[in-house]
Structure 1
Amino acid sequence: MLPEKSGGKVLEATVMATGAGSRSESGSVVPIAVTVGDKVLLPEYGGTKIVIEEKEYFLFRDSDILGKFDS
Structure 2
Amino acid sequence: MTLKPLGDRVLVKPAPKEEKTASGLYISSGAQEKPQRGKVVAVGAGKMNDKGERIVPDVKAGDEVYFGKYGGNEVKIDGEDYLLLRADDIYAIIED
Q: Same fold (TM over 0.5)?
A: yes
Q: Structure 1: state its 5+ residue gaps.
A: 1-8
Deviation at residue 46 of structure 1 after TM alignment? 1.3
Identical-pair percentage? 32
1:35 counterpart letter in structure 2: K
Give 2:73's match in structure 1, choosing from 42, 48, 64. 48
Q: 1:25 to 1:67 in 2, by over 3 A?
A: same
Deviation at residue 57 of structure 1 after TM alignment? 0.8
Q: Tell me the TM-score normalized by structure 2.
A: 0.61
SS in 2 for 1:36: coil
Query: What RMSD, in angstroms, separates the aligned Cα atoms of the two structures?
Result: 1.5
Q: 1:50 to 1:40 in 2, by over 3 A?
A: same
Matched, 1:25 2:25: no
Q: Structure 2: state its 5+ residue gaps.
A: 1-33
SS in 2 for 1:45: coil
Number of residue pairs aligned between Structure 1 and Structure 2: 63
The answer to which structure has the higher helix fraction is 1
